[in-house]
């Protein structure tokens, strides 16, 4: 109290104004930036989750199509629909299968037999389908 009594009223008011201003700025800074950091963390978490979902869906798509093609081809072979002894039918099957999925990144479709025979089709450098 002795300090306040020794200072003039003008200095007391100025000191009170400066202290109030500093406290106000401190409170406003804390409220704004603590909420801002929390909001930024939530936004980053949301963006990371969205990216994770997008990558998962793309990856799942890359895995699902080849697996489906393998299962479909296996079923046709087991049921006798596909006859590998007929070269024309065999080649049409592989070329048709690869051509039907032209918008996908599938490069080749082929099968190897127990006897060491290898049949299939692939895309060449001109992106046209050729028999292997």
Residue 116, domain member (yes or no):
yes
Residue 129, domain member (yes or no):
yes
Dump pLDDT digits (tens) for 74-118. Answer: 888 888 888 778 888 888 888 888 877 767 777 788 888 888 888
So what's the pLDDT on residue 44? 94
Residue 113, domain member (yes or no):
yes
Residue 68, domain member (yes or no):
no
Structural domain count, the chain: 1
| Half-sphere CA count of 12, side-chain side, radius 13 A | 9
pLDDT surpasses 60 at 52: yes
Dump pLDDT digits (tens) for 58-76. Answer: 888 888 888 888 888 888 8
Residue 124, domain member (yes or no):
yes
3-state secondary structure of 73: helix
| Half-sphere CA count of 13, side-chain side, radius 13 A | 3
Domain carrying residue 119: 83-132
The model's pTM is: 0.53
Residue 131, domain member (yes or no):
yes
Instruction: Decide: residue 121, CB within 10 A, 0-12 exposed, 13-18 middle, 19+ buried.
Output: buried
């Amino acid at each position: 109290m002795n300090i306040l009594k020794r200072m003039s009223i003008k200095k007391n008011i100025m000191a009170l104004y400066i202290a109030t201003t500093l406290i106000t700025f401190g409170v406003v800074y804390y409220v704004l930036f603590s909420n801002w950091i929390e909001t930024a963390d939530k936004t980053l978490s949301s963006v990371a989750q969205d990216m994770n979902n997008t990558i998962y869906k793309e990856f799942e798509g890359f895995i699902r199509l080849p697996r489906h093609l393998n299962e479909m081809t296996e079923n046709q072979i087991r049921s006798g629909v596909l006859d590998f002894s007929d070269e024309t039918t065999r080649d049409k099957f592989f070329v048709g299968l690869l051509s039907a999925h032209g918008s996908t990144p599938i490069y080749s479709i082929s099968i190897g037999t127990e006897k060491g025979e290898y049949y299939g089709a692939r895309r060449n450098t001109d992106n046209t389908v050729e028999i292997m």
